[in-house]
């Protein structure tokens, strides 16, 4: 399928959000264009080459303190401790209700909660309270991007807001009160 330049660049961005490890060769084959066309698209969009994308993804996980890599639900894309974090999760049939094929809310909550906890620069972080709203239904195969922001910090208490999106549409929002403690009693 041939894409117009704007459509190709939009799809390129979507593909790299799903898998930042695609090479220029793989992308060129996907779009049936030259590698140079992909490089020009990436450069004009400010997307680094695969080595840099790999390093960036790895460095986000390297900064984790409160959880280990396997405890973050979804793929951690950005992590600026005590400020901002972002993860991406593609929903699967195992996450859905059997009859309706709608994604169960606890998976969306788990992505948001684990992202909020990962955001805090402390060894031990616990969720004290969460105020949640599910705005839209999520289906199998939807890609959910969760974005967490520290709204307030008071010593060991953090207020973190997480919004989750399918494309640009808000599907979930949550305000989390988190408590950080260096040692567990």
Residue that the structure tokens 């060769």 belong to: 25
| Co-location of 145 and 167 in the same domain | yes
> Sheet harboring 124-134: ordered strands across?
75-80, 84-90, 143-154, 157-166, 169-181, 124-134
Chain centroid, CA 98 distance in Å: 25
| Tens of pLDDT, residues 141-164 | 999 999 999 999 998 999 999 999
pLDDT at site 185: 44
Q: Is residue 45 part of a domain?
A: yes
Please, which residues bridge with residue 90 across strands?
Answer: 143
Kindly report, residue by residue over 29-50, the tens digit of the pLDDT. 999 999 999 999 888 877 878 7
* Pair 125, 37 in one domain: no
Q: How would residue 56 be classed by pLDDT, with cut points 50, 70 and 90?
A: low
Q: What is the phi/psi pair of residue 8, to 5°?
A: -60, -45
Which range marks the domain in which residue 99 is found?
68-181
The least confident of 40-54, 75-89, 124-138 is: 40-54
Mean pLDDT across 129-143: 95
Pair 80, 112 in one domain: yes
CATH of the domain at 47: 1.10.10.10
Tokens of 62: 């390297």
What average pLDDT score do residues 46-61 get? 69
Residue 102 pLDDT > 80, yes or no? yes
What's the confidence (pLDDT) of residue 164? 97
- What's the confidence (pLDDT) of residue 183? 54
**Alpha carbon 1 to chain centroid, angstroms:** 28
Instruction: Confirm if 101 and 140 have CB atoms less than 8 A apart.
Output: yes
Residue 160 within any structural domain of the chain: yes
Q: Looking at the structure, do residues 17 and 107 belong to the same domain, yes or no?
A: no
What's the pLDDT score for residue 59? Answer: 60
In a domain, residue 146? The reply is: yes
The tally of domains found in the chain comes to 2
Residue 38 lies in a domain: yes
pLDDT of residue 57: 61
**Of all residues in the chain, what percent carry a pLDDT higher than 90?**
47
* 78 and 120 together in one domain: yes
Global confidence as pTM: 0.67
């Amino acid at each position: 399928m041939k894409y117009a330049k704007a459509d190709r660049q939009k799809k390129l961005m979507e593909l790299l959000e799903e898998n930042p490890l695609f090479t220029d060769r793989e992308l060129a084959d996907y779009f049936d264009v030259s590698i140079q066309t992909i490089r020009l698209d990436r450069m004009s969009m400010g997307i680094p080459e695969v080595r840099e994308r790999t390093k960036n993804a790895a460095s986000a996980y390297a900064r984790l303190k409160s959880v280990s890599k396997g405890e973050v639900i979804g793929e951690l894309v950005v992590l600026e401790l005590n400020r901002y974090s972002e993860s991406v999760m593609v929903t699967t049939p195992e996450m859905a209700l059997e009859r309706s094929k709608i994604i169960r809310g606890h998976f969306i909550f788990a992505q948001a909660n684990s992202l909020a906890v990962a955001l805090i620069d402390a060894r031990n972080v616990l969720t004290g309270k969460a105020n949640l709203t599910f705005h839209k239904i999520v289906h199998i195969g939807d890609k959910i991007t969760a974005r967490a922001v520290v709204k307030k910090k008071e010593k060991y208490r953090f207020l973190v807001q997480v919004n989750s999106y399918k494309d640009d549409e808000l599907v979930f929002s949550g305000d989390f009160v988190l408590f950080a403690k260096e040692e567990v009693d």
